[in-house]
Structure 1
Amino acid sequence: MKHYYTIFALSLFFLISCTSQEETSSKKQWYKGNLHTHSYWSDGDDYPEMIMDWYKSHDYDFVVLSDHNTLAVGEKWKLIPKSPSHEMGFQKYLDKYGDKVQYREDSAGRIEVRLKTLAEYAPMFEEKGEFLIIQSQELTESFESKPLHMNVTNIQKLIPAEGGNSIPEILQNGLDRVKAQRDSTGVPMFLHINHPNFVWAITPEDIIALEGERFFEVYNGHPQVNNYGDSLRPSMEVLWDKVQAAYLEAGKPLLYGLAVDDAHNYHVFDQNSSNPGRGWVMVLSESLDPASLVEAMERGDFYSSTGVTLESIDFSGKTLNVEVKAEEGISYEIQFFGTKKSSPEESGILLSEVTGTSGSYSLEDDDMYVRAKIISSKPKENPYQIGDKETAWTQPVTGK
């Protein structure tokens, strides 16, 4: 299931400077993964094994179960709701896993199922170099009825919700606690901000106020997250560029954008359901292990997608080159967005656009950064919103 694509030059961090670095790059591979998924351990509607089987059988290389304020450890029994889809889901689970399923029936005829822990279900699916499950948690907070959700990828110990006196304070507390756990364990991990526009909870200004935030969801497949904003509030891409410009003006690192499923629903697939397969990341990494993937993403060595596959991303320090792995009969628009140093308030302007399977943009002295968006003519299957086309987003780069 590994995704082998030729990398003609090193992506994003100038590794073309010497032969030994080029040899290192040639060993890297693209790995497809989803960083936001739910199960019966919180508010998803299927069992961990069924979910892992779906992702593995659909050519993902790594996936997380990021349930709300819990890790898949200890004993948990799930009361199966009395509905046709849930009862059908239980029967499918029982048919597939048979005597590995532990369940009981109460006096009212309701079924409870003991959920498998990560330690129990991971060995059923993991294969070295082929499929990996990374431990994750959706740190779920709120402030004045606004949901503040943050995923922690490769978490080692549960981080409980603790509240705070403002939205930025709660988000910053999450960042600080993840950093503390990373420092104490020595294990690479990162926090990303989930669906800022869910219930219109998190503004660009809230994110601008943070220290140490590197990732957020530019695309989330849940039907209620308002990816595209409205007449009064920004889309995720507008938010991205506004925060990006502010971060760079303040001397902060680049903010990277993730595409994720936020899957909750595995029995009914339609526009009103939060289904798997809507958004993912493609990570260029030396190996399929949590530390390598986290570190690659922190370098910006990945892109996000809802269907478009890239052949290569090459940044020389001045020119960003993008090449699409084209599908027959499909056309592509490659757009380059950025912000001018002379006009930071006009963030996220379209710098250049080309029709075709390859495009490039050379940074000018007045450019703060550039990122590419690749839009396919191919309609997205089971889309977040009717009319969506398959799309990919590269990570922003700055000149050196």
Structure 2
Amino acid sequence: MKAKICVPLLLLLALVFVIFYREWSEPEERSVEWIEEGRWFKGNTHTHSLWSDGNDFPEMIVDWYKKEGYDFLSLSDHNILSRGQKWMPLKQIEKRRQKGDSGTLAKYLERFGRDWVELRGEPGSEEIRLKTLEEIRPRFEKNGDFLLIEAEEITDKFRQYHIHINAINLGEVIKPQGGGSVVETMRNNLRTVKEQSERLNRPILTHLNHPNFHWSVTPQQLAEVVEEQFFEVYNGHPGINHLGDTNHPSDEAIWDMANTLRMLLHDAPPLFGVATDDSHYYHGGNVSPGRGWVMVWSEELDANQLVKSMERGEFYASTGVVLKEVKYDQGSRKHLIEIIPTEG
């Protein structure tokens, strides 16, 4: 069974998935040959672990995503990379777990064994060492069918406004840069990421996270910061005001408004929308994984290639819909989308 849908170019593609091509910056006829030259890779770019405010060990989280069919994952903890020595009190780890669930340590030991888990201290005051990203990689990347992309949620603030920007494929941690306004704070952090990208000669993707979190970023501000090419049109965290309210537009409405302003006032290409989990809880609770993701078209499962593909717009964001093929006809200004159907 095949499902095919033709839609006008500028029609927003429903609530559950979004697609953009860079027609704005490439007005000439656009080739769609890339559809034949690679494959789709599923990934999540916004994930938290015990390295910041998540409630499980990073390798337990990675294990879940790989078992669920993801091809790549970014652990994006707040203002930190998973590097160096970090010991955490066992009591603090267990306290983060939701009530009624079996022990975090017990599940960790069952999955990875006593030889892998590092404990120190006397009973009642034990600490556990959190594994680094480089220690975890060999367990999950050894067959070339899964990739961990180093990332950070640059967590900044201007007055009461929370400015969080994910940086994907970082080489070094980036400290929050601050600023004298929401716009300046965004720009300062984006500029620092760009400087690192140029200095290390590696592509780094940034996306503004949850603009409605504490009602922090308006459509006008997002439109003005034309340096930012991506933002979370969907974030799976239940506390980020995704749907807006009577006084604030939803994230999807922000997307429409910001893109309209970018094209009309700033002569800038439109924003791309990504979907992410922003997962924190892995033992029950409502900030769980598996809610939103991106599907990236790439020739290979490689961090640089995946970032470059997303920068070209060769991806879509989803909370459920899976696409088999996407084609764009320049003459009719329509997309031809083939959806993989599901029962029910």
TM-score by structure 1 length?
A: 0.74
Q: Is the 8 A contact 2:155 2:162 kept in 1?
A: yes
**Distance change (3 Å), C-alpha of 1:179 and 1:85:** closer
Distance in structure 1 (CA, Å) of the matches to 2:96 and 2:316 = 39
- CA 90–210 in structure 1, closer or farther in 2 if over 3 Å, else same: same
Say which of 293, 296, 299 aligns to 2:306: 293
What displacement does 1:127 show? 3.9
1:104 maps to what in 2?
Answer: 120
* CA separation of 1:84 and 1:26: change in aligned 2, threshold 3 A: closer
Decide whether aligned partners of structure 1 residues 175 and 325 sit closer, same or farther in structure 2, where only a CA change above 3 A counts.
same
- Matched residue type, 2:252: E
CA RMSD of aligned residues (A): 2.1
Secondary structure at 2:42's aligned position in 1?
A: strand
The equivalent of 2:343 in structure 1 is: 328
Q: 1:84 to 1:281 in 2, by over 3 A?
A: closer
Checking the alignment, whether the CA contact within 8 Å between 2:220 and 2:261 is kept in structure 1 is: no
Local SS of the residue matching 1:69: coil
What is aligned with 1:123?
Answer: 138
What code does the residue aligned with 1:316 have?
D
Structure having greater relative contact order (Cα 8 Å, sep ≥ 6) = 2
Answer whether contact 1:12 1:314 (CA < 8 A) is retained: no
Q: Does 1:79 align with 2:103?
A: no
Instruction: Summarize the alignment of residues 348-363 of structure 1 with structure 2, pairs less than 5 Å apart.
Output: none
Question: Runs of at least 4 residues of structure 1 off by over 6 A?
Answer: none
Q: What is the CA distance between 1:328 and its match in structure 2?
A: 2.9
Distance 1:84 1:129, change over 3 A: closer
Tell me the CA shift for residue 58 of structure 1. 0.2
- Structure 1 letter corresponding to 2:154: L
State the AA in 2 paired with 1:50.
M
SS of 2:199's partner is: helix
Partner-residue secondary structure (3-state), 1:65: coil
Letter in 2 for 1:288: L
**Structure 2 counterpart of 1:85, one-letter code:** R
Structure 2 length-normalised TM: 0.86
* Structure 2, gaps ≥5 residues long: 1-19
Correspondence 1:163 to 2:175? no
Equivalences for 1:113-192 in 2 at 5 Å? 113-127=128-142, 129-192=144-207
Instruction: Give me the identity figure in percent.
Output: 44
Matching residue of 1:356: none
Q: 1:262 aligns with which of 278, 297, 301?
A: 278
Structure richer in strand, relative to its length = 1
Amino acid at match of 1:203: T
Contact 1:282 1:303 in 2 (8 A): yes
Cα distance in 2, alignment partners of residues 52 and 239 from structure 1: 32
Gaps of 5+ in 1: 1-10, 330-400
Shift of 1:321: 2.0
Do 1:13 and 1:315's aligned partners in 2 also have CA atoms closer than 8 Å?
no
Q: What's 1:94 paired with?
A: 109
Match of 1:64 among 56, 74, 80: 74
Residue 27 of structure 1 and its aligned partner are, at CA, apart by 2.7
**Inter-partner Cα distance in structure 2 for 1:292 and 1:224:** 33
Q: How far did residue 186 of structure 1 move?
A: 1.0
Q: Is the 8 A contact 1:137 1:158 kept in 2?
A: yes
- Tell me by how many angstroms 1:129 deviates: 4.2
Partners of 2:306 and 2:156 in 1: CA distance: 27
Q: Distance in 2 between matches of 1:90 and 1:18?
A: 53
Q: What does residue 315 of structure 2 align with? A: 302
How far residue 12 of structure 1 moved from its aligned partner, in angstroms, is 4.4
